[in-house]
Amino acid sequence: MLTYQKNLEKYADLGVRVGVNIQKDQTLVVNAPLAAAELVRLVAKKAYEAGAKNVHVEWHDDDLTRIKFDMAPDEAFKDFPMWKAKGYEEMAENGAAFMSIVASNPDLLKGVDPERIAEANKTGGKAMGKYREYAQADKISWTVLAAPSKEWAAKVFPDANEEEQMSKLWDAIFKATRADLEDPIQAWKKHNENLSEKVDYLNNKKYKKLHYKAEGTDLTIELPDGHLWVGGGGPNERGAIFVANMPTEEVFTTPLKDGVNGTVSSTKPLSYGGNLIENFSLTFEKGKIVDYKAEEGYETLKRLIETDEGSHYLGEVALVPHDSPISNTNIIFFNTLFDENASCHLAIGNAYASCLEGGTKMSKEELEKAGANSSITHVDFMIGSAEIDIDGIMENGEEEPLFRNGNWAF
């Protein structure tokens, strides 16, 4: 068997056994673009082998998405098939596991009226709100994987020919997800243990604040009482351990909604809604974004921040050492799944309930009271680099180095 074919099978198996950790007689729901058909078929086989009852695939197509943005009337972006949103809720209630496969062209919606994109994101975000609550409170097993599309591969490796572009991006994905190793499942066990060590260290410390310093960045982030750092695999409502992102190199928690002050600068391009935002900075006062700049994609950034009230606040603080397997590839993926796992990052928008003690059992109001932000959106953006220093500030005001020159300081 070719190496590619072997790795692809291991990758599919990883997604099924480690990503969603499929259980006997469980339904697996797969969201995938047509470009990922080969991977999806392998995922289905691996899922049935692992005892899945049913594999339900919801396909989508980048070309059709673009055709719609180019040709449909404005009203089309105000509608969402609510029966499908209800279907997702129903499948989540019935204990299905969810796998999303991303393959998007980072420039898919370049040149499209940002108003239309914002409208579509708002409509979809609202419609899928209840399903998203299931996922973000870890009630269900869910995972995000990637598969190259031609357009994405061309963006990452512009100098290679078409065939090389695809195989280079596949190789990078296999490497980043450890699918190229002899025994990826064992490797992920070890990796999850390493992340757990960091999580335990941080949860023992109970830092009151984090202080970020780098070129263009001087930011203080307060952490709420009862915040929890999490990373690697975690249990769903029924106790099955799943890994929500493959790759994942981050440990993360929720910031105190109104406890963010200062300015932070991006260090990698952000692909959002089919457009790139590059070299941007955000300024916060009492948690709220009060000013922002962007060299590229300012309009897109603006629509993102103005999605709703909660998109003016942060919902995630994530620590990733600069010296990580993904960032060592030196590849800019133009895809958040990879770029966020090569870099310290923050997220605009909704916080994860699992990042608060008892959070997954809290009501929306209780979460808000505990300091967790709520929004229909959640978008990570990268702020890490080889230069960033981060201090942890204790309850008593004492400071200690957490990151130095982009890497863990302990």
Contact residues toward Zn ion (CB under 5 A) are 250, 316, 318, 347, 380
Q: Is 394 an interacting residue with respect to a copy of itself (CB under 8 A)?
A: no
- Residues 69, 109: contact at Cβ < 8 Å? yes
Question: Which position among 55, 270, 317, 383 is part of the footprint of a copy of itself (CB under 8 A)?
Answer: 55
Q: Which residue is listed with tokens 């999850």?
A: 192
Q: Which does 68 bind (CB under 5 to 8 A by kind): Zn ion, a copy of itself, none?
A: a copy of itself
**Cα–Cα distance, 301 to 312 (Å, whole number):** 11
Tokens of 82: 């609510």
Nearest to 35 by CA among 132, 153, 137, 130: 153
Residue 239 binding result from a copy of itself, Zn ion, none, given CB thresholds of 5 to 8 Å by partner type: none
**Of residues 82 and 158, the one with the C-beta less far from a copy of itself:** 82
Write out the binding residues for a copy of itself, residues 4-43 only, by CB under 8 A. Answer: 25, 34, 37, 40-41
* Stretch in the footprint of a copy of itself (CB under 8 A) among 1-9, 85-93, 194-202, 293-301: 85-93
Q: What is the DSSP letter of 316?
A: E
Residue 380, contacted partner among a copy of itself, Zn ion, none, CB below 5-8 A by kind: Zn ion
User: What is the nearest approach in angstroms of a copy of itself to the Cβ of residue 90?
Assistant: 5
Long-range contacts of 232-239 (CB under 8 A, 24+ apart): 232/191, 232/192, 232/193, 232/194, 232/195, 232/196, 232/199, 233/18, 233/21, 233/188, 233/192, 234/138, 234/354, 235/138, 236/138, 236/139, 236/140, 236/141, 237/138, 237/139, 237/140, 237/360, 238/23, 238/95
CA count, 13 A, side-chain hemisphere, 126: 13
Decide: is 93 part of the binding site for a copy of itself (CB under 8 A): no
C-beta of 58 vs 215, nearer to a copy of itself: 58
Least distance from C-beta 72 to a copy of itself, angstroms?
6
What Rg do the C-alpha atoms of the chain give, in angstroms?
A: 20
Tell whether residue 128 is a contact of a copy of itself (CB under 8 A): no
From a copy of itself, Zn ion, none, interface partner of 76 (C-beta below 5 to 8 A by class)? a copy of itself
Interface with a copy of itself: number of residues (CB under 8 A):
34
Q: Name residue 205's amino acid.
A: K
**8 A C-beta contact, residue 252 and residue 231:** yes
Task: Give me the residues that bind a copy of itself (CB under 8 A), please.
Answer: 25, 34, 37, 40-41, 44-45, 48-49, 52-57, 59, 61, 63-64, 67-68, 71-73, 75-76, 79, 81, 83-84, 86-87, 90-91
